Amino acid sequence: MLVLAGATGLMTGVFVWALISLIDLVQLAFWSVPVPAWQVVAIPTVGGLLVGLLVARVVPEARSGGVVATLESMAIRGGRLPKRVPFAGTLATGIALGTGASGGREGPIVLIGGSVGSFIARAVPLDEERTRLLVAAGAAAGIGATFNAPIGGMLFAIELLLGGIRRTGSLQVVVIASVVSAVTARQLVGEGLPIFQARFGLALGDPIELVLYAGLGLAAVAVALGFRHGEDLARALFDRIGRTVGFPLRVAIGGLGVGLIALVVPEVLGEGSELPAIAGQREPIQAMLDGGFGDGWGAAGLLLVLLVAKLVATMLSVGSGSAVGTFAPNLFTGAALGGAFGIVAIQLVGEGAADPGAFALVGMAAVFTATVRAPLTAILIVFELTGSYDLVLPLMIAVGIATFTTELLGWESVYIRQLRRRGVVWGQRDDLDVLQTVTVGEVMTTSPRLIPQDMDVRTLMTEFTPSGTHGFAVVDDRNRLVGVVTVNDLQRPGDTAGDICTKRVVTVTPDDPLFRAVRRMASLDVGRIPVLDPVTREVVGILRRADIVRGYQRGISRSLGVQQRASTGRLRDLAGVGFVEVVVDGGSPMAEQAVRDIPWPERSVLTSIRRAGEVLVPTGTTVIEPGDELVVLTADGDAIQRLATAEPA
């Protein structure tokens, strides 16, 4: 495994060099000097069209970065990623960033490095557990190489992809890959490898500054809120646009929006470093760290304008589906927030009270932590960038406050949040039980009988008798939860359901794992729990004990599937045939088709189908339905995956 980790790191370092070189080459090819206004708008638009074609037809995994696709492969496909991803993903991201899409290369590098690890694991071949570990090692190698920060890359993989260190061997594998990749990229790229470098001497001044850094940690949560909800809004908008014009034009429209913003704020182009030779700062992040935006209220206002513009431009690029991520924009907006915070502190407290560069550096770590929920990664990357521990207290204060606040708000990593929206519950199999693999929305009772809060008690009594139900959710005129009323509540004094219902009730959302609902129900010894929409707080379902039983059956089925993959992975024959598991998308070539009518690749056998918690033994007449989980013995897993995947709109 250590040898394979070294090979993964070496190959990933080469791909990091290739991506950086491709970005420079595309910039030289597309951008002229000086740059006329029409180019500022046209080039991101044309680049978006090219990237849209690549993502739609060649590498859909690169859509909107790659971290979520990597997590999804580890969660439901045992870490298996297509072999085309490293080359096609590098091409798509190189064109996107070279033509000015607002985003970062770090998310795509995670996908590329993970794909390298997956390719090596399948070539050996390895079982699922070791494949997942090598994918995480590849992701660590990507982060370690692109920042020249191998320790930060290691912690990124451990915090986000592996969920902790369960065995000493896993740490060694990740460390080897990250270090080898960083050294390889450093040798190939040279001194210009890091995106930015902090200047020497950044340190804590007066201890009273710690109060300001705590405030910066709170402000970082507000920026993270913009990333969370801004991405949701952008995806919803571009989903509607895409249904009309198709995916490539959808990405081109996102590029057009970035170009229009760049006419006023050119710093939003690309990832925040090595911008095309246009008006404005070519190295905006570096300028923030160096205090290059000046001082005074005007400089603080300019930095806040940059923050908002970069956030909006990134949402346009990522929401439209371009092959860029949000890692670098997190750092850009964090640096802008911190720089503005430091300048304002100087204006209020006096010269020498704060260093805007130090605040910019800490702001990067705080915003990244609040958005991605990886505090150790953020702190260690900053340490490796500065080579100094002089900012350790400010970093710990700001990152700690950001972590604590997001924990109180119940936020999870933005990547895990997007994964849940794909219907995948991310969790470690040995953390809890099979209920962790099932969401509330999969098994809840939909369209339940809801009681208006103004229903009189006498009418309410008649609702219980024919239904046999012991409790109902009580809602207002906008379908939002008021409380829960049970048979026992009928004895309470009051005229309406709203008067007698229990108003302090526990709730869950459709995206919550089922074990969380069970815990909450058990804590109050209740037999039902309302399910609320996380945004509107409307009641969308009720979870009952019978629903939990069905969820347990579904979880058992999925757990058996995991065990089957682990066992069959060890029984792979020497001819290269192995088991793969795929989920059938609606609109895929095999959806709604009988097994005998599907053009299966040679040397492939469909062994089982998991549907609605049950395992089916297929025959030639069995019709494949969307959502079916297929287990296939095959020599061509990529072909099976293509059969099960719908073409992008």
Average of per-residue pLDDT across 44-54: 93
Beta bridge partners of 485: 472
Number of domains in the chain: 4
Residue 630 scores a pLDDT above 80: yes
Q: Which residues of 19-51 are buried (b: 16+ CB within 10 A; e: fewer)?
A: bbebbeebbeebbeeebeeebbbbbbbbbbbbb
Kindly state whether residue 142 falls inside one of the protein's structural domains.
yes
Q: Are 184 and 8 in contact (CB under 8 A)?
A: no
CATH number at residue 321: 1.10.3080.10
Q: Is 202 inside a domain boundary?
A: no
Residue, of 570 and 344, whose pLDDT is higher: 344
Q: Do 355 and 362 form a contact (C-beta atoms < 8 A)?
A: no
Domain that holds residue 71: 2-189
* Domain-located, residue 316: yes
Residue 277 belongs to what H/E stretch? none
Higher pLDDT, 434 or 376: 376
Res. 613: pLDDT tops 70: no
Longest dimension (CA), the chain: 81
Residue 438, SS3 per DSSP: coil
Q: Are residues 46 and 109 in the same domain?
A: yes
Residue 226 has pLDDT above 80, yes or no: yes
Kindly report, residue by residue over 189-203, the tens digit of the pLDDT. Answer: 876 555 566 655 566
Mean pLDDT of the chain: 83
Query: Which distant-in-sequence residues (6+ apart) come within 8 Å of 272 by Cβ?
Result: 104, 195, 196, 283, 284, 285, 310, 328, 329, 331, 332
320, 649 Cβ separation under 8 angstroms? no
Answer with the residue of higher pLDDT: 642 or 647: 642
In this structure, are 595 and 490 located in the same domain?
A: no
Q: How far apart are CA 363 and CA 359, in angstroms?
A: 6
Among 495, 517, 550, which residue terminates a domain? 550
- pTM of whole model > 0.75? no
Final residue of a structural domain among 421, 445, 464: 421
**Do 495 and 370 reside in the same domain of the chain?**
no
Q: What is the pLDDT of residue 91?
A: 94
